[in-house]
Amino acid sequence: MDTAQIAVTAGGAALIGFILWFFFGPRGVTAAREGDGGVQEVEVVVQGGYTPDRIEVREGRPVRLTFLRKESNPCTEQVVIGDFGIARTLPEGERVPVEFTPRKAGEYTFHCSMNMVRGTLVVRPG
């Protein structure tokens, strides 16, 4: 192999590695911080997905997810948390607080109205 071939091969391998990491790599879990009054708060940025997309809270205490949508893509205009009967419109650039209290430990999905962009709420036993 000459230098160019080696460079192309290495570049391809690096790209494949990146793609595998991007789609299948470990996802960080963001634990909610408990503010005044015991409300578990997390800000979620909506831009090509949810960041963070895995949020850990404790059961039996109020949760406030504040969504901040930083894009105009209509895909993410609504966020739905079906298990809690929540559907909210997210105007671009506005913080939209969504409050509920998870009563039962488990994993719950939040997603756009088309169910294409998703995140997970992990509720730990209180």
Among 8, 13, 16, 116, binds Cu ion (CB under 5 A): 116
Percent of the chain that is helix, strand, coil (3-state, to 5): 25, 40, 35
Smallest separation, CB 33 to Cu ion (Å)? 28
Q: Specify whether the CB–CB gap between 76 and 51 falls below 8 A.
A: no
Among 112, 119, 121, 123, binds Cu ion (CB under 5 A): 112
Tokens encoding 45: 């940025």
Exposed / middle / buried, residue 90 (Cβ in 10 Å: 0-12, 13-18, 19+): buried
Per-residue x/- mask for Cu ion, residues 20 to 59, rule CB under 5 A? ----------------------------------------
Smallest separation, CB 67 to Cu ion (Å)? 14
Q: CA-to-CA distance for 84 and 102, rounded, in angstroms?
A: 8
Of 58 and 111, which CB lies nearer to Cu ion in the complex structure?
Answer: 111
Task: Tell me the pairing of strands 33-34 and 40-46.
Answer: antiparallel
Among 48, 114, 118, 124, binds Cu ion (CB under 5 A): 114
75 binds Cu ion (CB under 5 A): yes
Q: CA-to-CA distance for 11 and 15, rounded, in angstroms?
A: 6
Of 98 and 123, which CB lies nearer to Cu ion in the complex structure?
Answer: 98
Of 19 and 116, which CB lies nearer to Cu ion in the complex structure?
Answer: 116
Number of residues that bind Cu ion (CB under 5 A): 4
